[in-house]
Amino acid sequence: MKIDVLSIFPTMFDGMTGNSIIKKTIEKGLVDVSVTDFREYAEGKHQTVDDYPYGGGAGMLLKAQPIFSAVEALQERTPNTKPRVILMDPAGKRFDQKMAEEFAQEEHLIFICGHYEGYDERIREFLVTDEVSIGDYILTGGEIGAMAMMDSVIRLLPGALGNADSAVTDSFSTGLLEHPHYTRPAQFRDMDVPEVLLNGNHKLIEEWRERESLRRTWERRPDLLDNYTLSDQQQKWLDEIKRGVE
């Protein structure tokens, strides 16, 4: 996979790409990440990337020309791929695990990180393929949102994680929140690991995990169950959970 990022603060991405799983995934050659300062593509002596909005109003807008020129230059470098051009914007579609899984299937992603009051509307209308938001709040720029999305996508690439099952069983990947986890010691300050996890019966362990995943989802994110098809057994467990039956 190829990931390009357009930002006027490219060094913000150094910490992300130089550490942990993302760094290892880059070193393995599973993903190629490049961050470009789109100011370099701005015309004029001062390489201005923003200007006042027509009609007046508060704040400055990112100009169309530098971003169009930068995206076109990136596309020329990879003429055999059709990139998804992702605009980081609070008015965009809410990012979720399903979208991460969709983006992970692409060959080339281009993230556009905004600043100031917003973008020239022609960027939305004629350049980008996706407008995406990470939540209903405002940040000073799109970099943090882009990093969150990139992390979520890159870890889904085959070979990125040490255990391939990790991404499959993550919260939201199955449609439910993930079950509780425990590690050694079995007893810590009079707090015990559930006995079922210690008995070696893998069938019972899997049933416990599935039930606890269902319990956690109902207690913390019941909205996820609205679009989740329960099996007969899961429905029985959910009914028992709601009645407080252990």
112 is in an annotated binding site: no
Q: Would you give the distance in Å from CA 111 to the centre of its chain?
A: 12
Q: What is the C-alpha separation between 52 and 27, in angstroms, rounded?
A: 42
Neighbouring residues of 78: CB distance < 8 A, sequence distance ≥ 6: 2, 108
Q: What is the C-alpha separation between 4 and 208, in angstroms, rounded?
A: 42
**Residues involved in catalysis:** 90, 117, 155, 170
The values of phi and psi at residue 131, to 5°, are -110, 120
192 is in an annotated binding site: no
Q: What is the C-alpha separation between 224 and 123, in angstroms, rounded?
A: 34
8 is in an annotated binding site: no
Neighbouring residues of 169: CB distance < 8 A, sequence distance ≥ 6: 178
Name the strand (E) or helix (H) holding 35: strand 32-36
50 is in an annotated binding site: no
55 is in an annotated binding site: no
14 is in an annotated binding site: no
Token code pair at residue 120: 């020239």
SS3 of 171-234: CCCCCCCCCCCCCCCCEECCEECCHHHHCCCHHHHHHHHHHHHHHHHHHHCHHHHHHCCCCHHH
Map tokens 């019966």 to a residue.
201
56 is in an annotated binding site: no
Quick one: which of 119, 147, 166 has its CA closest to 33? 147
Mark the binding-site residues for S-adenosyl-L-methionine, compressed into ranges. Answer: 114, 134-139
